[in-house]
Structure 1
Amino acid sequence: MKRRTLPAAVALAATAALLLTACGSGDDSSKANDKIAGAGTGSPTSASPSASASGTADRPKITFPSYAKNVFEDQKTGDATKDAVLADSALSINSVDEAIFKGSTSTKALGFYSADKALSSSITYVQGYIDDADTWIGETRYFERKVTLAGADKAYVTYCSDESKSFIKNKKTEKVDRTPTTANAYVLYHTVLSKNAEGVWQTTDIVSKRGDKSCQP
């Protein structure tokens, strides 16, 4: 499948360089950028994973339809802080997809797990799906997830996404765009997360590179 590219991908080249420096050789990859072929109907189910919450914030519940699923690997590092960062990073990803499924940029979770530039680009990203009456179906896998801590309230997370089993579906025509799997089905992500007053690790910046060699099987 192919998702549309996040608006931040081009504009944040400087941030990408910063993230690469901060994360060293650890390459956790990115989130799929082009739309996924989506589904039309299906009963809502809890989004995967139900990551363990950090802090004491009243966290919104994120639900996915039965026809779509995100799978996250590398959830446990052995370090409690890094595990909390990875959990909230996954929830940020899920919150963007939930907004796509609900056809709304005003979901509680979207602004709960993302802030600053990442929130702005996510809203634009979701709105693209809404404008085209698109959603996605299938399964997206996130792997090679790595964390670099930068003090008590800042972290860098890199990860890869595998979109080879997820596809964009138009809600009006019911047509599914089953694009053949190529190198572009794999995306590398570099993200910045900041811990807010409620103890939530919000994604504040994100850059992505589709087809990156480090994410290829």
Structure 2
Amino acid sequence: MNRRPTLLAALTLTAAAALTLSACGSDDSSKNKDNDKIAGADTGGEASASPSPSKSDSAGRPKITFPSDATNVFEDEKTGDAAKDAVLADSALSVNSVDEAIFEGSTDTKALGFYNTGKALESSIGFVRRYIDGGDTWEGTTRYFDRKVTLSGENKAYVTYCSDESKSYIKNRKTGKVDRSPATKDSYVLYHTSLAKNGAGVWQTTNIVSDGGAEECQP
């Protein structure tokens, strides 16, 4: 079962078609509260742990902080294309912003609404509230891999990626008790996301669709 409830939303047919072109086996964003976590196979791509300090001070970006027992690792950061790299960087910060809200136990964090908008923000708020209402948070490491970008003009993009949640675990916020249930097929999730660049040059995630247990993401 996934660490997080699946983030949802309905992509337009155009977005879905674009996402299909860059489908995962190499692609990108979120987790499911009923699954286990990450298995750490090395894909050979560059990786960075969350949060990403290099982007936190530019364009008024809010700083994102994680507790010491939780980490997101993002692979495939550099594509050789500056525009695509910028999309991937803000996509990662969108993921981190959702987790920060979980850790803070609040949907009013600055980063959550900074990196997410529209249906993605609505889905993310509902996702965070499930943690809050359940009295839960998480610990461990979640790995994001096979991240790929499809640009659509100057201000729209689609990112697909996989998450490995086999090494991240639900933790009760009050008691600190951790559920270390063994990983399952659903610990590996495929994400399709839509992003749009706002007036400040930030690539905001506007829509998210996830597929827990997707074959493309299995180890």
- The TM-score range, normalised by the shorter chain, is 0.7 to 0.9
Return the letter of the residue paired with 1:22. Answer: A
Aligned ranges 1:42-53 → 2 under 5 Å = 48-50=50-52, 52-53=54-55
SS at structure 1 position matched to 2:93: helix
What residue number does 2:30 align with?
A: 31
Q: CA deviation at 1:197?
A: 0.3
Structure 2 match to 1:5: 5
Match of 1:21 in 2: 17
Deviations 1:92-134 (A, max 9, x none): 0000000000000000000000000000110010011011110
2:126 — aligned with what? 124
Over 3 Å counting, the alpha-carbon distance change for 1:17 and 1:52 in structure 2 is: farther
Q: CA deviation at 1:48?
A: 1.4
Deviation at 1:57, TM superposition (A): 1.5
Aligned pairs (5 A) from 1:153-168: 153-168=155-170
Code of the aligned partner of 1:2: N
2:44 aligned residue = none
CA RMSD in angstroms comes to 2.1
Give 3-state SS (helix, strand or coil) of 1:3's partner.
coil
Residues 55 and 199 in structure 1, CA contact (< 8 A), matched pair in contact too: no
* Unaligned 5+ runs, structure 1: 38-46
Asked if structure 1 preserves the Cα contact closer than 8 Å seen for 2:31 and 2:189, the reply is yes
**What is the TM-score of this pair, normalised by structure 1?**
0.87
1:17-96 alignment, distance < 5 Å: 18-23=14-19, 24-27=21-24, 28-34=27-33, 48-50=50-52, 52-53=54-55, 57-96=59-98
In structure 2, how many angstroms separate the alpha carbons of the residues matched to 1:199 and 1:156? 16
Greater mean deviation of Cα atoms: 51-60 or 132-141: 51-60
Tell me which stretches of 4 or more aligned residues in structure 1 moved more than 6 Å.
none
Which residue number in structure 2 is paired with residue 192 of structure 1? 194
* Larger mean Cα displacement after TM superposition, 187-196 or 27-36: 27-36
After superposition, the Cα gap between the structure-2 partners of 1:204 and 1:113, relative to the gap in structure 1 and judged at 3 Å, is: same
* Residues 159 and 193 in structure 2, CA contact (< 8 A), matched pair in contact too: yes
Q: Could you tell me whether the CA contact under 8 Å between 2:51 and 2:66 is conserved in 1?
A: no
In 2: Cα distance, 1:109 partner to 1:25 partner: 27
Structure 2 gap segments, 5+ residues each: 37-48
SS of match in other structure, 2:62: coil
Cα distance, 1:177–1:108 mapped onto 2, change above 3 Å: same
Give the Cα separation in 2 of the matches to 1:16 and 1:70: 29
Shift of 1:54: 9.8
